[in-house]
Chains A and B, each alone.
Chain A
Amino acid sequence: MLKRRLFFSAPSPDSTSWQDLSSPSFSMRIFHALKSRPSNSIAAIYLLVLAALCFSSGLFVPYAWDEIHFVSEATGPSWQHWFGIDDLGRDLFSRVLYGGRISLSVGLMSTSVSVLIGISYGAIAGYFGGTIDRWMMRLVDVLYCLPYYFVIVLVMVLFSIDSLYLLFVVLALFQWLGMARIIRGQVLSLKEQEFVLALRGMGASHARIVFRHMVPNTLGIASVYATLMVPGVMMQEAFLSFIGIPFTVLGTDGVHKPVASWGSLLSEGARYFDTAPWLLIFPAFFFSTTLLAIHFLGDGLRDALDPSLKV
């Protein structure tokens, strides 16, 4: 095979990689990273406030997100409905907050699942090396060759996967490959260090070394790439909503009902943009600013935790 240069190449074993700078604790370094640049703290605070609002929206919004007011047409923002109402007479303010809850959950949950798969897979492949590594990584190479947007669409459409929880898993199944490669590179260099020999000497099992010692040491880089993965997942959710895959949750009455997500609000908004522009503008504002904030945060974390990529 040809040596392919990844644009996020893992640091080479001989370079001073981030795990050698072990003085302050991991969480302290994240904290300092956020403090060092005002843009990072603004992004973090914005995300926290927005997430808090979205996840607690049920407590304070005056209308339920799916409550229908009988109106003849969509109307713009007013004192009664801050963001206006859509063509079915639903309050957009509540819908945007509720949609944020769904979209943020999709982003966070899918990323968590794929980080879980990617870290375990990469760590095992890197730690054991040799034939195991070769075959495990060959599988990753093969999966990289799947036209994965097509497969996602096929899986989603063909099996009418409209449950939100399955969406988490399906998106995650196609996200972990890059993470596995990065973690494997990290572990390859980590396992040559002397503390691994010491652990073996003290009789630590392979499983213990991999999951108690290798994995925690890769969390810095993993957190950077996990952060950068979230916007991509949220974009995919929006894309799938746009091509007409409605996501549902099981309601309290036992009936599957379609949910509002930022993706579905965006595609509705895009459809009615010429007559009711507010339907696109409000969700688009929150969607884009959230993505922007996450991008900022990811960049900040990368600069702080991964000096090998600092430029």
Chain B
Amino acid sequence: MSFLIYGLKRLVATAPILLLVLVINFVLLRLAPGSPLDREAELPHALKVKLEAQYGLDQPLPVQFWIFLKNAAQGEFGQSYTYKNRSVREIIAEAFPVSARIGLLAMGLAVVLGCLVGALCARRPGGPLDQFLRVAMLTGKSVPPMVLAPLFVAIFAITLDLLPVAGWHGGATKALIGPICCLALYDVAAIGRLMRGSFLEVQGQKYITALRAKGVGEKRLQVRHILREASLPLVSYLGPALSSILIGTVIVEQVFNIPGLGRYLVNAAVNRDYTLTMGITTLAAVLLLVLNVFSDLVLAWIDPRIRLT
């Protein structure tokens, strides 16, 4: 129960921050030169006035922001300027699940593999396996996705002909493998390094020795005691990392030609699509703030010594 109350309190406390982020985005967008109604040929004056009235651009800025807030609270962001006859809500509802699916699966893979690699390294620090995996992890952090993805396509799709070259194919498993692997590599390396240090720190603590002396089985010790304590930094890492999947998938989406949300953001910003840009950035901000609160809750759940205040 205290969790629920605490979570709600924290969410309420983040509301001003969210508001601030939205104001910053809104102001940035309006300060930028150009308008969504700019075309190569100047629009006739009457038409422009009519369009401005239709989109509410003739209102003073604070009023526009207030209208935006009222609509956003109901999950409504208005019509997109660039994609005709489509509302921002539709676009997000269509593209976000795609990005989220790839991002979540990649992160899941990265957590499993990263913990595994970290645990293997921590078994015998300085040993040959540890040395090898450390270099491998550093390499993994050094290869950018725009290198990895074309290489992956060339090897697994073109040479070996195992996977489709690109495309979404309605989310078929085969089409997902490539993007997920290319996306996960960096996080596997990052999480592996994090977990290695964390495992080593926890292993050396006295309560682990005490538990061993008490006769706790090795398996139980590893999972119930070491993994639990060692996963705290991972939870802190995952909050922000998960919220960045929206933008982190851009490169992979482009190489594998996947209809995710990433490409919309850049297009929308370039075309000054006010509504779509605000829709996507609002989603990102909400995601980040909620995940931060959530990861704090998980931390407190794992480690009761962390007090909820």
The CA of A267 and the CA of B232, in the complex, are separated in Å by 37
Inter-chain contact B232/A280, CB cutoff 8 Å? no
Partner among A154, A160, A266, A287 whose Cβ is within 8 Å of the Cβ of B28? A154
Most buried by A among B24, B150, B296: B150
B4 close to A (CB within 8 Å): no
Partner among A2, A269, A284, A295 whose Cβ is within 8 Å of the Cβ of B300? A2
For B189, the closest partner residue in chain A by CB is A295
Consensus secondary structure, chain A interface: helix
Partner among B146, B196, B281, B306 whose Cβ is within 8 Å of the Cβ of A147? B281
Q: Chain A residues near B14: list those with CB within 8 A.
A: 145
Inter-chain contact B194/A7, CB cutoff 8 Å? yes
Distance to closest chain B CB from A248 (angstroms)? 17
For B141, the closest partner residue in chain A by CB is A295
B183 close to A (CB within 8 Å): no
Inter-chain contact B144/A235, CB cutoff 8 Å? yes
Inter-chain contact B284/A147, CB cutoff 8 Å? yes
| 7 other A-B residue contacts (CB within 8 Å) besides A145-B289, A231-B142, A288-B143 | A7-B194, A146-B285, A147-B285, A243-B266, A244-B266, A288-B139, A288-B142
Inter-chain contact B299/A5, CB cutoff 8 Å? yes
Q: Chain B residues near A151: list those with CB within 8 A.
A: 24-25, 28
The CA of A262 and the CA of B71, in the complex, are separated in Å by 43
The CA of A160 and the CA of B246, in the complex, are separated in Å by 22
Chain A residues 89-128 with CB under 8 Å of chain B are none
Inter-chain contact A238/B270, CB cutoff 8 Å? no
B163 close to A (CB within 8 Å): no
Inter-chain contact A242/B146, CB cutoff 8 Å? yes
Partner among B21, B28, B153, B236 whose Cβ is within 8 Å of the Cβ of A158? B28
Inter-chain contact B236/A270, CB cutoff 8 Å? no
Distance to closest chain B CB from A236 (angstroms)? 10
The CA of A287 and the CA of B146, in the complex, are separated in Å by 12
B43 close to A (CB within 8 Å): no
Q: Chain A residues near B281: list those with CB within 8 A.
A: 147, 150, 154
Inter-chain contact A154/B147, CB cutoff 8 Å? no
Q: Chain B residues near A142: list those with CB within 8 A.
A: 17, 20
Chain B residues 271-298 with CB under 8 Å of chain A are 272, 277, 280-281, 284-285, 287-289, 292, 296
Chain B residues 192-247 with CB under 8 Å of chain A are 194, 196-198, 200-201, 232-233, 236-237, 243-244, 246-247
Inter-chain contact B20/A149, CB cutoff 8 Å? no
